[in-house]
Amino acid sequence: MGAVLVLLGWFLGYIFASNGIAGLIVALLIWGIMTLIAYFQGDNILLSVAGAKKISPSDHQQLYDVVEEMKSHRV
């Protein structure tokens, strides 16, 4: 995916600025920003897309107990 972004940046830079390096630099900056977002917020993005939500004991006591028990037995 990164290679496609870099090639697209070079191509668009060559077309619009007559300089592939300018497009390459912009593409690398965009790639860096996307990487930082994925690293720091990727889990939250995926959980929100999946419709996940936090539960409390009042929501579903048995499910809450199972999750808490699994959490305490992590290896």
**What pLDDT is attached to residue 57?**
86
> Where do we find the tokens 């390096």?
21
User: What sign does the CA torsion over 43, 44, 49, 53 have?
Assistant: positive
**What pLDDT is attached to residue 29?**
94
Q: Say whether pLDDT at 75 is over 70.
A: no
SS3 call for 9: helix
**Three-class HEC string of 12-41:** HHHHHHCCHHHHHHHHHHHHHHHHHHHHHH
**Structure pTM?**
0.66
What confidence tier does 72 reach under pLDDT thresholds 50, 70, 90? Answer: confident
CA 18 – CA 11 distance, rounded (Å)? 9
Q: What is the DSSP letter of 53?
A: -
pLDDT per residue as tens digits for the range 16-32: 988 899 999 999 999 99
